[in-house]
Structure 1
Amino acid sequence: MCRHSIAASSSNPDREVLPTNVKPLHYDLTLEPLFDTFRFDGTVEITLQVNENTDEIVLNSTEIDIHSAHILDVEADKITFDEDAQTATFKFKDTLVAGSQTTLKIVFTGELNNMAGFYRSSYQEDGKTKYLATTQMEPTDCRRAFPSFDEPALKATFSITLIADKDLVCLSNMDEKETTILESGKKQVLFNKTPLMSTYLVAFIVGDLKYVENNDFRVPIKVYATPGSEHLGEYSADIAAKTLAFFEKKFDIEYPLPKCDMVAIHDFSAGAMENFGLITYRTVDLLLDTKTSNINTKQRVTEVVMHELAHQWFGNLVTMDFWDGLWLNEGFATWMSWYACDSLYPDWKVWESYVSDSLQHALTLDALRASHPIEVPVKRADEINQIFDAISYSKGSSLLKMISRWLGEDVFIKGVSNYLKKHMWGNTQTSDLWEALSDVSGKDVVKVMDIWTKNIGYPIVSVKESEGKLIVSQNRFLATGDATAEEDKILYPVFLGLKTSKGLDESLVLDTRTKEFETSTTDDFFKINGDQAGIFRTAYEPARWAKLGQAGVDGKLSVEDRVGLVADAGALASSGYISTTDFLNLVKSWSNESNYVVWDEILSRIGNVKAALIFESDDIRVALNRFIVDLLGDKLKSVGWTFSDSDSFAEQQLKSSLFAFAVAAGHEEAGAFAEKSYADYIGGNKDAIHPNLRTTIFNHAAKTGDEKTFDQLFKIYQNPSSVDEKITALRSLGRFTQPEILDKVTGLLLNSDVVKQQDIYIPMQGLRATRVGIETLWSWVQTNWDTLFEVLPPGLSMLSTVVSLSTSGFTKKEQRAQVEEFFKSKNTKGYDQGLAQSLDVIKAKGNWAERDATKISEWLASNGYSK
């Protein structure tokens, strides 16, 4: 007899996994997509190892019509389905004998639908809608493409055959073995057998595709796109060649497949997917026109390509045992993409921007009660999508950055290489990596990291000064500033990183509630968390904040230190640990700052103040804008907003950032330039808007525009000069302020002929910028909820994104109550965590506004920024 389909696991007894009576060894899979009916026909023959005597086989299958199932020409006696568990059970008259091998053959039909499993993607060519068929299996959607043992630990080999029209391109994980023309006139393409791999990494594509090829690496690299766009893949192909060579050297392991294909897909729920040897991307994250794309798009494409290529080793070659180890996959690929980017493009100085990017994403989400541990117990398939978030990616990578600094980067990479070599083609748990790092470093990595990975949240380190001593203590940090004793029991091993004029002392560890340290600094300068490598916030006494502000002016703080100081002050102000006026005083003294990352952090944190006060008096918003214009005015004047070919990466970023914040805050000269550039551009001068300023100028045009402006931007969206311009125009549509135009914008969101489902969130981001936009979006979501739930099913993480975007802009208790009331009667499966996080955000902003609105208003008045 076989065990029940909910089997126990030693690490998580409640985990729903398949029974272990049989194990897949190899899949022979044949699929034929049918574009006239948007269905596909398939046959799969699964070679099984029988582990115990049994008369039934259970595997994963959902939204698939199974026509027949046989073992050695003997048809299944009975086939039953469990829709909730997403399984199919095949009962046979004869018993399968333990120790033997057998083959289960299944004939089936599926639907090419909804960005999951084997699905269709549409695009326009010569005024016609065309389609290609592609896949997205991660985390648990291989079962929508073919009946399978859809768990990461159940690795097998795959021989894949695709049947398609002769003029279409067929791709899969491996290179092509042979092509046969069938009697029907179609072709049958058989691919070489894959190495051992998990089902979530299986991929196949059928469509009209063209490619560019790069042969700078040991194996061919091809970037595919629909006809007419393939030349835009040259940049990514070049990045891939450099990155694969870099990773081969660093890991001391060859890239294990005979080719590397990367494909731009028009409909894609994620940003990219690391399928072994056949990596898929949103078009905007792979295709790039270096002449018309802005510097941020170039950096994002670079990092996304590097992220997916890191997975070819970390995730694909060695794979987590189950989804509670997702963070190890994603955290590592995130860290590795920054590491590779820093090595290959040192002038970008990406570790400086890491502090304001990944680290702050992690700290912001993990400050919510509704966060989750890095290593989160996952029970069911529908829970997995919700952990593809800033904890798994950004906190995971920040933890690895912290440990690489503790051990030393070379030691860390050596430990990773040893780990990959030891577990090649296998599955691992987090502890396997820690043990490899302990072996190579001689340090107890397991003990330290277990505390960080298995618990939610992180500490605030409070610093008190007393006669040559520092008294430091740690407590749980929450955005709402109200951690209970029950929530504050975990004591983290905190690497304090004490920076003084003598240098950085990384030997100090706070692993108790409170500790005292001697300070031998003679010039009264010190900073905790030097270079901002630790995952914690630091709270100083008021006098020390002022001294650190001066230290920033005097050049004693690194870029990472300055960014971290601003970020900590902003977060502590928003949560009530310090007054917002302390934060404002700190940044007011930094008007001569020259680094764009620091400016971004300063102005983003002031933006957070504005967001918390968005439903307060308009006077306070106007005064905050005056403060911004005054703060950045001199620096903006000195750097300007015209670009030359000789501008460095950092100079381009600084000009772009200052111009963007200046225009948004009402800087007259910058605003006038934006208006003239937009008018010239609409008038036919396509050189009037530099790509680095396009987002700012389109947003300003919308914010100050009318119906005519809407029509202009909508026309650009429909007929763009580049993918970059298309997305920029779409996002700007949410920036209009007239209710009748915003109704037009929301009216587009569910029109998939105009806005693709994958892009529904893009105009929503713009809508969150204004009070009327926030209210319009929430009203629209309530009205259209049933349709939204249908077109964005809980299995796609996009529903959680829509819920978050449409609710977290609120700040008032009564608004929060409205959100709670609306969802009280709804099925929150697949987005319950996102909703809980959004409610936390509303509460934190509401507390902040109640606590500090008057003080902020008084500070603005006393500094001359009020009317």
Structure 2
Amino acid sequence: MAVSKVTVIVLVVLSLCAIVATGLLVYFFAGRYGDDDPVDVTNTTPTPPTTTPPSEVTDVRLPVHLHPTLYNIKILAKFDQENDYPLHGEATIDLACDSPGSNVTLHAKNLNVTSATVTTAEGTELAVSDRTYDPERDFFIAMLDEDLEAGKTYRIRMEYRGRLQRDLVGYYLSQYDEGDSTRNLAVTKFQPTDARKAFPCFDEPDFKANFSVSLGRPNGTNWVALSNMNSTGITGDTSEPGYVWESFETSVPMSTYLVAFAVSEFAADGANVSLAEGEIPFKVWARPEMIEFTQKAMEHGPAILKYFEEYFDIPYPLPKMDMIALPDFASGAMENWGLVTYREEYLLYQWNQTSAATLTRIVYIIAHELAHMWFGDLVTPVWWNDLWLNEGFASYVMYLGSERVEPNWSWMDQFVFSDLQDVLYLDSLENSHSISVEVNNPNQISQIFDRISYAKGASVIRMMSHFLTEKIFKKGVSDYLKAFQYDNAVQDDLWQYLEWAVGNATKPALPTLSALPGTVKDIMDSWTLFTGYPVVNATREGQTVTFQQKRFLLNPGASEKLTTLWYIPLNVIGSSNSTDDFDSTGAMAWLEKTGESVALGLPSEDEDWYLVNLQQTGYYRVNYDDGNWEALRAALAADHTVIPTINRAGLLDDALSLARAGLLDYRVALNLTGYLGSEKAYIPWAATIRNFNYIRGMIETTGTYDHYKAYILSLLRHVMTPGFNFPTLEEVPKDGNYTDVTGVMYETLIWTTACEMGEESCVDVTADLFKKWKDNYDESKPDEPTLNPSMKALVYCQGVREGGEDAWEFIYKHYNLTNYASERTLVLQAMACTNISKLLDRYLDLLLGEGGAIQRQDVSRAFAYIAANPHGRLDAFKFVRDNWDYLQATFGVGTAAFGRFITPFSSFNTETELALLEFLKDAHSNELGSAERAMEQTIESVQINIRWIGDNIDVVTDWLKMKNSVEVL
């Protein structure tokens, strides 16, 4: 076969590229993996054989011949032995036998069960012939000489030993500094599968039972023990000198992952609050030094709890509510029934230290966790495949609860940007997953604690509430919760109660109901059981708009494994409609799973433009015909307020995402952004900057970047008029009652973007503020307020970026002196802003080691900050490669944190970088564990980036050059 000259040249170029790539791969992968010793994770149970990777163990469910009815748990953790914190426990479990069996099998992990006896209800002891562990499944098995009989009750009593560890899961040790001393506390984090690390138990959500807990704690007036229920007081000394037992009322039926306890020297701020069934104590606990900063939690927590009583039409079922702010915690917060645990930065508020964005987060996280008292705690999914029923509902109604206590903070605007538009990116990958997804082992379970379960779950629930109407939605949800209270359910149970609510609704008052194309289950199954979401293509002819659907994928060349179609609620509005009509978010028509198109009429043939998906309540993107895109651009340029804020943000996000996927000419999408110089609202700007940051990441190392900066600055300079001054500390309301919190976020976003683009006025003012702060810093008062809390992140970052090694060392010193968790988070971000490689390397070194310089809870977050810096990206990759074993041992055992060391590499955009990732994946193919999906999604993202550069960089570059020439003229 003849070979052309062009082919020869191409082959030579490819060969040279391969040689370069091979050299880089040898450089990156020379040496062995994981030279650092892993953290001590010693098991007192046998370790799994290395020939059976955890990801391959699928049969992990407990046998079902027994179910627990009552636990009596006694746990004593000792604090007074240096570097060894032994845990002694007794677990007595009453069991109901549902079918014959010759064993008692339950979960235990990192526990040494020293004795186990099984008795009948009458007290007759049954012979235990063997006690075995199945470490691959965390099973403790007591084999019996005789069969258990169905219908009878039994009891197993176990004594066991363990120790408190520092791994932030199970019953773990936490520490904090108070003055010159280090204080200890022990606290729990059991979700999803770590109750088994604290006591032997049936550690699956379907095994609900009552719990009677006694905690051993030091005998001192400053020590307090907390659990889900109220304390019944001190019940006597333990066998350990200096320790006493504190016992608690028997709980309502609940799942093991919701059991919680804490032993600490914390203080409380609290009051009795009136709820539907009387007064209960409501307390917020924190380190004594921090207790004054609980006022926002105490102000909003009770009000939100009352709101959810009204919303769900069910009284809060427990006799008290405690919320506790922890110095280190693996999650943002956890919904343990009656004892909600939080990271300090997500519960404590100080007006001159906490940014408006963090205050917003505090409010909605409190609302999220209190919503779980009903959705998740009162009614719990049968299994983790329906985790989204917990998290999706809490992630939606938290905005409703937040709106009750802060009605002026544009919560639905925030929802659209932070949840709906955010998750649309992840869900546009082939390697996304369905909302309801089959999971088996703990690694798979931990992987679904992601944006799909939370944000997509919330988005489809919001969509459903709009097409059913809020009245019917609330009725169905309330009836479902009442029917399954103290029990478990699956998503079909919820669909059934919503269907009944539809059937019992008053039809004349709800005219849209007749348009439902199927049952609630039919409609919602298409959104929960299938991966991804659609793009709705809208084409206008005269007065008629025709709609068709197709799955939206960022990679237009991706081959779909199956043809996915959805039931899609449609609505449309024309330019002649009033802005009030944008609130009519019910379904005017439906695209159905048949794949057939559907048409809707506009008010007249003279409409200048039309718009679909009002208030972006539907979980889909919309692509218009060319004429309508141009008409929408013209409308925004003439008077953008004719389209409400949410839909302006939706148009920008859809257009730029469609262009990214090759479904819309990039020039059309970029032209739409031209009006932003007149935009004063937060989420249209935020949606645009998020999309522009992607373009920035693709071209930042090319000669095109100057054109990119020039265009962004041309928009910003229209916004940053002479009156647009840098906010001062005096502008921060001392009571935290912002009249317009998204307005503050808007100012922060504009200033931050301006500094990133090198705007002189921003660079100069931030440099001056950083210098003044540094020059007047008093180490004895490190948290003396001198900077606007909403602008500190920008000032710190710019100070480090411009100030070199001296500035970096100074801010790291501040990290070690500050007493505020939210302040440490800002410093972690700022430390990654340096462009000096040796400082980024030093920062990476700080992430290593038990009790290291960076708290374990913050390590993956700090790593992501470093990896986001182009100067640190490859060093971050080398860090993961060289420390794989340590990271896997420390963060990869049944938690989602391990994947966070992979996802930052989604910004890679060269074939060599792709090869690095693929080599890393292949080298550890049997030990990815909870990072398996993160690795697949990251590799897919890099493939998309490479394609984007090939398809779009010339078009985007030419547009930017043209636009900047016009601006100059």
Q: CA deviation at 1:589?
A: 2.4
> Structure 1 residue aligned with 2:212, among 159, 167, 175?
159
Q: Tell me the amino acid that sits aligned with residue 354 of structure 2.
A: S
Residue 804 (structure 1) aligned with residue 900 (structure 2):
no
Runs of 4+ in 1 over 6 A off after TM superposition: none
Residue 549 (structure 1) aligned with residue 633 (structure 2):
yes
If asked which structure has higher relative contact order (CA below 8 Å, sep 6+), I would say 2
Q: Tell me the amino acid that sits aligned with residue 588 of structure 2.
A: S
Residue 118 (structure 1) aligned with residue 174 (structure 2):
no
> Structure 1 residue aligned with 2:532, among 435, 451, 457?
457
TM-score by length of 2: 0.86
SS at match of 2:697: helix
After TM superposition, the structure 1 = structure 2 runs for residues 632-651 of structure 1, keeping only pairs within 5 Å, are: 632-637=716-721, 638-643=723-728, 644=731, 645=733, 648-651=740-743
Counterpart position of 2:599 = 516
Measure the CA separation in 1 of the matches of 2:127 and 2:91.
15
After TM superposition, the structure 1 = structure 2 runs for residues 348-747 of structure 1, keeping only pairs within 5 Å, are: 348-442=409-503, 444-484=519-559, 486-487=561-562, 489-500=563-574, 501-502=576-577, 503=581, 506-511=587-592, 512-513=594-595, 514-521=597-604, 522-553=606-637, 554=639, 555-614=641-700, 616-617=701-702, 619-637=703-721, 638-643=723-728, 644=731, 645=733, 648-684=740-776, 686-720=784-818, 722-747=820-845
Q: CA deviation at 1:630?
A: 1.1
Measure the CA separation in 1 of the matches of 2:740 and 2:540.
42
Deviates more, 1:644-653 or 1:789-798: 644-653
Counterpart position of 1:171 = 226
Largest Rg, 1 or 2: 2
Deviates more, 1:489-498 or 1:690-699: 489-498
TM-score by length of 1: 0.95
Deviates more, 1:419-428 or 1:86-95: 86-95
Q: Tell me the amino acid that sits aligned with residue 83 of structure 1.
A: P
Q: Tell me the amino acid that sits aligned with residue 355 of structure 1.
A: V
Q: Tell me the amino acid that sits aligned with residue 145 of structure 2.
A: K
> Structure 2 residue aligned with 1:182, among 237, 243, 246?
237
After TM superposition, the structure 1 = structure 2 runs for residues 26-41 of structure 1, keeping only pairs within 5 Å, are: 26-35=70-79, 36=81, 37-41=84-88
Counterpart position of 1:337 = 398
Measure the CA separation in 1 of the matches of 2:59 and 2:719.
56
Counterpart position of 2:957 = 857
Residue 101 (structure 1) aligned with residue 153 (structure 2):
yes
SS at match of 2:824: helix
SS at match of 2:902: helix
Residue 760 (structure 1) aligned with residue 859 (structure 2):
yes
> Structure 1 residue aligned with 2:373, among 288, 291, 312?
312
Counterpart position of 1:215 = 272
> Structure 1 residue aligned with 2:106, among 22, 37, 59?
59
Q: CA deviation at 1:520?
A: 3.5
SS at match of 1:724: helix
Deviates more, 1:685-694 or 1:474-483: 685-694
**Conserved in 1, the CA contact under 8 Å of 2:300 and 2:405?**
no
- Shift of the 234–312 alpha-carbon distance from structure 1 to 2, 3 Å rule, reads same
Measure the CA separation in 2 of the matches of 1:486 and 1:56.
43
Q: Tell me the amino acid that sits aligned with residue 856 of structure 2.
A: Q
Counterpart position of 1:277 = 338
**Conserved in 1, the CA contact under 8 Å of 2:408 and 2:739?**
no
Q: CA deviation at 1:127?
A: 3.1
**Conserved in 2, the CA contact under 8 Å of 1:33 and 1:164?**
yes
- Shift of the 773–485 alpha-carbon distance from structure 1 to 2, 3 Å rule, reads closer
> Structure 2 residue aligned with 1:774, among 873, 884, 891?
873
Measure the CA separation in 1 of the matches of 2:71 and 2:742.
50
Measure the CA separation in 2 of the matches of 1:861 and 1:520.
40
SS at match of 1:439: helix
**Conserved in 2, the CA contact under 8 Å of 1:121 and 1:131?**
yes
**Conserved in 1, the CA contact under 8 Å of 2:676 and 2:685?**
no
Counterpart position of 1:84 = 136
**Conserved in 1, the CA contact under 8 Å of 2:215 and 2:245?**
yes
Q: CA deviation at 1:276?
A: 0.6
Q: CA deviation at 1:688?
A: 4.1
**Conserved in 1, the CA contact under 8 Å of 2:271 and 2:282?**
yes
- Shift of the 854–249 alpha-carbon distance from structure 1 to 2, 3 Å rule, reads same
Deviates more, 1:415-424 or 1:67-76: 67-76
**Conserved in 2, the CA contact under 8 Å of 1:214 and 1:238?**
no
Deviates more, 1:775-784 or 1:93-102: 93-102
SS at match of 2:550: strand
Measure the CA separation in 2 of the matches of 1:863 and 1:381.
52
Q: Tell me the amino acid that sits aligned with residue 833 of structure 1.
A: R
Q: CA deviation at 1:51?
A: 1.9
Q: Tell me the amino acid that sits aligned with residue 853 of structure 2.
A: V
**Conserved in 2, the CA contact under 8 Å of 1:498 and 1:508?**
no
- Shift of the 408–253 alpha-carbon distance from structure 1 to 2, 3 Å rule, reads same
**Conserved in 1, the CA contact under 8 Å of 2:443 and 2:895?**
no
**Conserved in 1, the CA contact under 8 Å of 2:86 and 2:163?**
yes
- Shift of the 769–93 alpha-carbon distance from structure 1 to 2, 3 Å rule, reads closer
SS at match of 1:744: helix
Q: Tell me the amino acid that sits aligned with residue 114 of structure 2.
A: H
Q: CA deviation at 1:430?
A: 0.3
Deviates more, 1:432-441 or 1:631-640: 631-640
Q: Tell me the amino acid that sits aligned with residue 163 of structure 2.
A: E
**Conserved in 1, the CA contact under 8 Å of 2:352 and 2:788?**
no
Deviates more, 1:78-87 or 1:475-484: 475-484
Q: CA deviation at 1:741?
A: 1.0
**Conserved in 2, the CA contact under 8 Å of 1:78 and 1:91?**
yes
Q: CA deviation at 1:379?
A: 2.0
Counterpart position of 1:8 = none
**Conserved in 1, the CA contact under 8 Å of 2:118 and 2:155?**
yes
Counterpart position of 1:829 = 929
- Shift of the 179–497 alpha-carbon distance from structure 1 to 2, 3 Å rule, reads same
Describe the superposition over 1:42-86 as per-residue Cα deviations: whole angstroms up to 9, x where unpaired: 000000112223321111111111101002355622111111111
Deviates more, 1:99-108 or 1:758-767: 758-767
Counterpart position of 1:347 = 408
Deviates more, 1:582-591 or 1:188-197: 582-591
Measure the CA separation in 2 of the matches of 1:262 and 1:647.
27
Residue 841 (structure 1) aligned with residue 944 (structure 2):
no
Taking only aligned residues, the RMSD between alpha carbons, in angstroms, comes to 1.9
**Conserved in 1, the CA contact under 8 Å of 2:681 and 2:746?**
yes
Deviates more, 1:469-478 or 1:72-81: 72-81
Measure the CA separation in 2 of the matches of 1:589 and 1:85.
58
Q: Tell me the amino acid that sits aligned with residue 860 of structure 2.
A: Y
Describe the superposition over 1:302-353 as per-residue Cα deviations: whole angstroms up to 9, x where unpaired: 0101000000011101111110110010000000101111233221011012
Deviates more, 1:220-229 or 1:208-217: 208-217
> Structure 1 residue aligned with 2:69, among 9, 25, 49?
25
Measure the CA separation in 1 of the matches of 2:247 and 2:745.
48
SS at match of 1:481: coil
Measure the CA separation in 1 of the matches of 2:419 and 2:882.
35
**Conserved in 1, the CA contact under 8 Å of 2:269 and 2:284?**
yes
**Conserved in 2, the CA contact under 8 Å of 1:174 and 1:194?**
yes
Q: Tell me the amino acid that sits aligned with residue 636 of structure 2.
A: G
Measure the CA separation in 2 of the matches of 1:27 and 1:255.
23
Q: CA deviation at 1:483?
A: 3.9
Measure the CA separation in 2 of the matches of 1:350 and 1:77.
60
Counterpart position of 1:10 = none
Task: Tell me how many residue pairs correspond in the alignment.
Answer: 851
- Which sections of structure 2, spanning at least 5 residues, go unmatched? 1-56, 120-124, 504-512, 514-518, 778-783
Q: CA deviation at 1:297?
A: 0.4
